[in-house]
Structure 1
Amino acid sequence: MMNCIILDDEPLALLKLAEYIKQIPFLTLEKACMETGEAHTLLEKKHIDLLFTDIDMPDMNGIEFIRSLTHPPMVIITTVYPSFAIDGFKLNAIDYLLKPFELEDCLRAAEKAQKMKSLNKQAPVPASSDDTHTLFVKSDYKVVRIDVDSIKYIESMSEYVRIYIEGKEKPVITLNSLQKLEARLPSHFIRVHRSYIVNLQKITEISRLRIRFDDKKLIPIGENYKEKVMNYITRYGML
């Protein structure tokens, strides 16, 4: 079983989604909230597995609300605006339901969350919380500590790689391979080309098999990696 809450300022949308949730046997609706403050209080007091949230809220943008949470639950975004897909993708949303949606769509999204919860239970607990957030590499005769979440993308150059970091003009260059780094990095880092690994939480858009970042850098998606990239995006409900 998974307990969940709904956050939506539209009464009819709130009621309809609540009815859908009642028909999904592995979901328990804890509360239907119309204000972010009410949802925040509940999330602070009780463990919630899943949050269904609208984006266009009067008191706080839904994206901002999710980012404000210290320990956010799994998230399914519900909205009338398809333009919010990239924001949801960066937040690792489980799914993205475009209003109006049907019970079948809600069930599909909930099943994704159920599978994710099951995988998280099976995953081994790391020895340290820093294990997946810190990377130490040798560069210019010294050891450099890199915050993994700050990495935008990694580029292969023969026996070396360039690690491009948010806010840094020059990349960190180290003797390493994309294959070894891919095995070390969290799941939101994905090989998209024989020469590139990207952090999918940092991308701005994907267009014509090219990934764009905020700095306008374009990275190609290789033909051999196209299916893998599209499967990842589809798994999180962004297509």
Structure 2
Amino acid sequence: MKKFNCIIVDDDEVARLKVVSVARKFPVLNIVGHYASPLAAFTVSGREKIDVLFLDIDMPALSGLELRKKLMDIPVCVFITSHPEHAAESFELETLDFIVKPLREGRFGQTVRRIEEFMELRHKADLFESSFGDDCIYIKEGYEKVKVKLHDVLYIEALKDYCILVTSHKRYCVFSGIGNLLKEQHFSNFVRIHRSYAVQKQFVEKMGSTEIVLTDKTKLPVGNAFKFNLNLI
């Protein structure tokens, strides 16, 4: 089994040990260390290869958001915090998930599955190629090509150097940055609402200043730099 090195940072000892206790129940996670000080975690990250950060936000000396900015080379970041008001800001920092305390094992399990999916797609990204047809994209998965109808794509999620096309049934990987993908004429009906997300207009059910709700009830954050784009929906 592939294991992912992770560190846990929370200045609240009880909360930190709770994360440690729950994380140990998932063999895919290898806890390199857990720290009350963000500065200690920053030092460790320079010595060890870290795959996953579990961070609190409200901490002295250096907040979780500031620590993430210094450790953007670590592929996965998950915030576990009592401050849901920071959710939108956190997703500007390539955050994979945002968990509101108190931490529950079932909710953490969802995050672990998402980490596994993300890391698998990241590992396989160089196997994917894509080409366009009429209202569809052909995605090469290994030796096969899969036809994805663009009008079925609810939204696009950016993950480092590639994107996930999300339909109601499946997620498809495209080895392209979201900026380049949206320049393609085939994606003219998509509107970028966040550094990590673009939505297809016809699937937007509700719009707010910080969040969009799609017809399948998926909620996506709206980034401050992209609020003007809501006028295009």
Q: Give the TM-score of the pair, scaled to structure 1.
A: 0.60
Structure 2 distance, partners of 1:58, 1:190, is 34
| Contact 1:211 1:218 (C-alpha < 8 Å) held by counterparts | no
Indicate how the Cα distance of structure 1 residues 109 and 211 shifts in structure 2: closer, same or farther if over 3 A, else same.
Answer: closer
Q: Secondary structure at the match of 2:126?
A: coil
Asked whether 1:99 is paired with 2:98, we answer no
Identity %: 22
Cα deviation per residue 1:54-82 (whole Å; 9 max; x = unaligned)? 00011111111111225133011000011
* Bigger relative contact order, structure 1 or 2 (CA pairs below 8 A, ≥6 apart): 1
TM-superposed CA distance for 1:41, in Å, is 1.0
> Which residue of 186, 189, 193 maps to 1:179?
186
Structure 2 distance, partners of 1:70, 1:92, is 8
In the alignment, which residue of structure 2 is the partner of 1:163? Answer: none
Question: What's the RMSD between the two structures over aligned residues?
Answer: 3.5
| Contact 2:9 2:16 (C-alpha < 8 Å) held by counterparts | yes
Asked whether 1:188 is paired with 2:193, we answer no
| Contact 2:76 2:115 (C-alpha < 8 Å) held by counterparts | yes
Q: Secondary structure at the match of 1:123?
A: helix
5+ long unaligned stretches in structure 2: 129-160, 163-176, 203-207, 215-220
Asked whether 1:42 is paired with 2:44, we answer yes
Cα deviation per residue 1:150-179 (whole Å; 9 max; x = unaligned)? x7xx7xxxxxxxxxxxxxxxxxxxxx7542
**Residue correspondences, number:** 169
Larger Rg: 1
Q: Which runs of 4+ in 1 moved over 3 A?
A: 180-183, 207-216
1:122-133 aligned at under 5 Å gives the runs 122-124=124-126
Asked whether 1:65 is paired with 2:72, we answer no
5+ long unaligned stretches in structure 1: 127-131, 134-147, 155-175, 195-202, 223-239
